[in-house]
């Protein structure tokens, strides 16, 4: 009996160590993933939407002055809109987390046995024996806050957003949109002839999409050439469709 108890306690301690290691390894990865996601969202739209607007206008004017003015206005409006969208998205995630946390807290207080069985089922899926899983669940459920934290992280797979996450997300998306939007617009700032500027803008935009995809692949661990080709193809297609729409409207 004492030996079994020692085995159970050992399993509990090992599980706690594994949890801490997982949490430590996931935090920087999650943070990096969030930043990459925001940059991709902002940069992708920034490279395509201003390009489509500038390309559409270039067919209706002989000089690029109007194109540059309209392009800058669109970049400013787009950056604000995208940044606000990112801010609201993170706020929504936070509100959902708070709502789920409140709901799970209510369940832990009202039907603790159900939550204990829930933890047992989850721990058994990790390869812990049923007897040890019972001991782990008992140990966790002895502390309601610990039980709540466990369910939120390992059952619902929810992490509380960082307090400044909404602001950081909006700024990252907005800045990425501006940076991306200036790429296709730069030729119009340097060349006065709209047709020549359009040709250079197409080349520069496709090259920027390729480089952006390459960097994204290197950061995320995907094959860089594949990521670069896909990004250029998808972004180029989107920009082409947007250009045709702008051209048709113009």
How many CA atoms lie within 13 Å of 95's alpha carbon, on the beta-carbon side? 6
Q: Is residue 174 part of a domain?
A: yes
Q: Assign 76 a pLDDT band (cuts: 50, 70, 90).
A: very high
Supply the pLDDT for residue 177. Answer: 94
Q: With beta carbons less than 8 A apart as the criterion, state whether 43 and 180 touch.
A: yes
CA distance 95 to 92: 5
What is the tens place of the pLDDT at every residue in 204-223?
A: 988 988 888 888 888 777 78
Cα 135–Cα 139–Cα 145 angle in degrees, nearest 5: 145
Angle between helices 2-58 and 165-190 (to 10 degrees): 30
Domain span including residue 160: 2-20+33-249
Q: With beta carbons less than 8 A apart as the criterion, state whether 139 and 12 touch.
A: yes
Q: Is residue 205 part of a domain?
A: yes
Supply the pLDDT for residue 119. Answer: 82
pTM: 0.71
Q: Is residue 199 part of a domain?
A: yes
CA distance 29 to 24: 9
Is residue 7's pLDDT more than 50?
no
Is residue 28's pLDDT more than 80?
no
What is the tens place of the pLDDT at every residue in 40-72?
A: 888 888 888 888 888 777 767 777 888 899 899
Q: Is residue 27 part of a domain?
A: no
Q: Assign 117 a pLDDT band (cuts: 50, 70, 90).
A: confident
Q: With beta carbons less than 8 A apart as the criterion, state whether 63 and 194 touch.
A: yes
124 contacts: CB under 8 Å, gap ≥ 6 = 130, 133
Tell me how crowded residue 85 is: count the other CB atoms within 10 A of its CB. 15
Is residue 241's pLDDT more than 50?
yes
Q: Which of 75, 89, 42 is nearest to 212 (CA)?
A: 42
Q: Is residue 207 part of a domain?
A: yes
- Tally of structural domains, the chain: 1
Q: Is residue 220 part of a domain?
A: yes
Q: Which of 16-20, 100-104, 118-122, 175-179 has the lowest mean pLDDT?
A: 16-20
Q: Which of 98-107, 141-150, 158-167 has the lowest mean pLDDT?
A: 158-167
């Amino acid at each position: 009996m004492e030996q079994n108890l020692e085995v159970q306690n050992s399993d509990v301690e090992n599980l706690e160590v594994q949890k801490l290691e997982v949490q430590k390894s996931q935090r920087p990865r999650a943070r990096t993933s969030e930043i990459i996601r925001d940059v991709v969202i902002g940069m992708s739209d920034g490279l395509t939407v201003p390009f489509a607007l500038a390309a559409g206008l270039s067919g209706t004017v002989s000089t690029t002055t109007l194109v540059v003015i309209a392009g800058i206005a669109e970049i400013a409006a787009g950056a604000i809109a995208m940044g606000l969208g990112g801010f609201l998205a993170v706020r929504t995630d936070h509100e959902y987390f708070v709502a789920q946390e409140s709901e799970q807290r209510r369940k832990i207080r009202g039907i603790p046995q159900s939550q204990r069985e829930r933890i047992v089922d989850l721990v058994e899926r990790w390869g812990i024996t049923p007897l040890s899983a019972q001991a782990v669940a008992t140990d966790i459920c002895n502390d309601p806050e610990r039980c709540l934290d466990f369910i939120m992280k390992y059952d619902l797979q929810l992490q509380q957003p960082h307090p400044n996450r909404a602001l950081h997300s909006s700024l990252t998306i907005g800045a990425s949109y501006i940076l991306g939007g200036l790429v296709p617009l730069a030729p119009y700032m340097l060349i006065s002839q709209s047709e020549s500027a359009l040709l250079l803008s197409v080349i520069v935009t496709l090259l920027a999409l390729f480089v952006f995809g390459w960097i994204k692949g290197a950061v995320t661990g995907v094959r860089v050439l594949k990521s670069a080709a896909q990004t250029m193809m998808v972004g180029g297609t989107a920009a082409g469709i947007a250009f045709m729409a702008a051209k048709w409207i113009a």
